[in-house]
Structure 1
Amino acid sequence: MTMMRGVQTMSMKGVLVPQTTPEGLAATSEMMSRYIGNVVTDTIATGFEVKPDGVNSVEWLSEAVKSLRLIVPLQSPTPLELIKSLNLGALGLVFTPPTAYQPITTSTGVLANYTLPDGFGFNIQFTQVSNSFALSRNGLTIANLNSTYNPSTSDMAAGTLTFNLLETPLLVPDDSHST
């Protein structure tokens, strides 16, 4: 790379350092959630080695680069579409006069089929999930459902996630009542 005034483009590769502490695991979980949600996350890249020809390391330059700490924005290149299908199982809706536009929704045995993006070659266990659903008609959102975290189980090899949707109101906005 030739350094000049202005924007510099660098080719970088790296690894995610395995975490074992509760704080490290929580930070990694947050970072992965943000990546999957297509939210920019500032990460820190540290220098490791310089190989100008792609093969041979230059020791003195590599030593200098090891002191580098760069803030690098991490974001998926495109929004991810991980959920391939969703089966709501036995869906329950409880309507009462006071909750006509906020029926309580439940579902047992919700099954989501998913795929992870290329490069996610590690095993992830989903132990709890929260859900945000938007129901639409003719391109307009007519109802929203936002659940709290619920216990879940996942099978990475099969690409499945199973959970129960606990009592959650299905909120129909005022401007959608006639829809």
Structure 2
Amino acid sequence: MERLLILLGLCALVHTQYLNNSSEEQSDSQLYFERIRVHADKHFMKAFGHIHEDRKHFDVFVKLDRKLGSNYLIMNINLRVKREGSNDFIKVINLRHMDFCAFLNDPDFRRFFMNTIHFSQVLECPVQVGNYSIKNIGVLNIVNEHSVRKGTYKFFAEIVEVTSDIPKIFALQITTKVI
């Protein structure tokens, strides 16, 4: 679960770079989390997400019942945007078949995420049985809401075990609105 939130941070960073290339200036925009959905395979874990009352922060909690990383794990990330006034979503990021353990163990990614997202504990592969949480995550920790163009943003990340009969272990979908 924390891995997916790590991906959220990465996508938010790329998202910011993408949006900052715009010539539009949105000095009066407001950003909020509209919805968060968490899927966890019951054979591996229990997980849930919670959006705070201010709708600018959320928490994700995971109780991992089986060690992860003994089989080949891949990660898929997708970020789409539907700009204000548009009827269609445009792909901003579509990363597929990333080696999850290589991602977790990369020192540059680890340093970036440890500085921007506060984990309950450091994640390494194999991910051990236990309770994991990421609390008070806000896109505003990474993104300046006044530089983001108005619209609906959908972030999706999943972790898949390639050798399993039930491959999708974890999925996180976050819908963010900028008005």
TM-score normalised by the shorter chain: which range applies? under 0.3
Larger Rg over CA atoms: 1
Q: TM-score, normalization: structure 1? A: 0.24
Higher relative contact order (CA 8 A, sep 6+): 2
Richer in helix (by share): 2
Q: TM-score, normalization: structure 2? A: 0.24
Richer in strand (by share): 2
